[in-house]
Amino acid sequence: MSITLFIIIIFTALAHTTWNVLLKQSDNKALFLRCFTLMGSIIFIPTLFFIEPLPSNAFIFLAASLFIHIFYNIFLIKMYKHSEISFSYPIARGSPILILLFITPLLLGDQISYLNNIGALILISGIFFLIFSEGDYKKIDFKGLGLSLMVASTIVVYTLVDATGARISDNGFSYGMYMFAMEGIIFNIAYILVFKDKKIPLKFISKEKNNILFASVLVTFAYLPILYAYTKINVPSVAALREISILFTSIYGVYFLKEKFGLVKVISAALVVIGCVIIRTATG
């Protein structure tokens, strides 16, 4: 992995944290997510006329990913309605890494070294230390936990699907542009059909317009480079590095939500950084 790609992945993690924070802070999370995904479609549909079409066999994976993202988005909305971001985000983003570490060699044929495994496991341990950093193990939010695991399950599936689709396309950026062009339309149609809610009030758009535009840009930067990275290195390494966003979320909690930053969080942060360094070393 080049140092440039490594740094870009770290910045995608920061972008991912930021748009999730914007979603969490919104008064109407469903409307906010519908708006910024639809904005993505408006931005990316014109670009499809200027890029090469995807190979026909890649469209199967694109369609599967769009379908999975419907559930991902719905679970994400519900997760942030019922759980604090400092609890739910680490579980939702951290759990898939461990699963991907074991199943991608079997399903995608990725070659993963022992050093790579060690780095990922250290990073994961740091993530799960963050979950219990307050030390109150008895007051677990089981509803939030359940929703977080539902989000995590969709992340595992769409990661495998998108990695395969990007590799078949041989161009992660083109695959991603097709995805962002279609996701907002597909998700909004699905949401209307399931929840019978067609309205997107102009008052809401006017109030949230800056955050909607910012989130649509952030979500693009948070994932397009990741799809490219899937075509260059093994999936667990990309996924693990990307989830340094959990550390950024913890920092956000400390500085903006005034959460405590005790010894456990210090250890957690150190483990996340050490894990990232080992993965960077292991992937060359």
pLDDT digits (tens, 9 = 90+) for 4-15: 888 999 999 999
Res 87: pLDDT: 75
pTM of the model: 0.89
Q: How many CB atoms lie within 10 A of CB 60?
A: 13
- 3-class DSSP assignment, residue 59: helix
pLDDT digit string, tens, across residues 15-38: 999 999 999 989 999 999 999 999
Name the domain count of the chain.
1
Residue 113: predicted pLDDT: 80
Q: Mean pLDDT score of the chain, rounded to an integer?
A: 87
At 270, list the tokens.
């150190």
Whether the predicted pLDDT of 134 surpasses 90: no
Tally the C-alpha atoms within 13 A of residue 26's C-alpha that lie toward its C-beta. 27
Q: Which pLDDT score, from 0 to 100, does residue 137 have?
A: 54
Write down the pLDDT at residue 85: 80
Query: What percent of the chain is modeled with pLDDT above 90?
Result: 50
From residue 66, give the alpha-carbon distance in Å to each of 174, 199, 282.
15, 22, 32
d(Cα 14, Cα 18) in Å, to the nearest integer? Answer: 6
* Of 238, 64, 58, 66, residue with least CA distance to 165: 58
Handedness of CA 260, 264, 267, 268 (dihedral sign): negative
Question: Domain containing 52: what range?
Answer: 3-282
